[in-house]
A = this chain, B = another copy of it.
Amino acid sequence: MNFISRDTDYAVRALIYMARQPKAEVVTVDDIVKKERLPERFLRRILQKLARKGFLASNKGKGGGFSLVRSPGGIRLTDLMETFQGKMNLTNCLLKGRICPNVMRGCLLRKKLRAIGKELDNKLNKITIASLMKG
């Protein structure tokens, strides 16, 4: 079971690559594909999604490409995970539809997981693209 999905991972790579460019330049998908060796079509879809969500600006036409909108320090790993994997849910009750005797209140398992989940979130929230750029 993977915590990070493939598209989240690809997005991280691409964003780090873009953030490394001097002067927030427009970067072409082809460029990223060549340097980071990611699958082109799939990466396009990922970048499009990032653009729709406001992480990137896309510039069509000749000389076009994608450019960062938000600063690398403002893009958290958890934002990307949420974008591509949906909100990470440590505590979802899977019995709900079927017959959950105690939707959340009083459910010890969920209560414990919730506490742990909060601490996990706090830590994950500190990971940003900027914090990953030194590597």
Tell me if A22 counts as interface (CB < 8 A to partner B): no
* A119 close to B127 (CB less than 8 A): no
Chain B: minimal CB distance from A29 (Å)? 17
Chain B: minimal CB distance from A77 (Å)? 8
Name which of A6-14, A44-52, A54-62, A64-72 contacts chain B: A6-14
Tell me if A86 counts as interface (CB < 8 A to partner B): yes
A134 to B108, CA, bound (A): 8
* A2 close to B92 (CB less than 8 A): yes
Q: Which residues of B are found within 8 Å of A2, using beta-carbon distances?
A: 89, 92, 94
Tell me if A23 counts as interface (CB < 8 A to partner B): no
Closest to A112 in B: B127
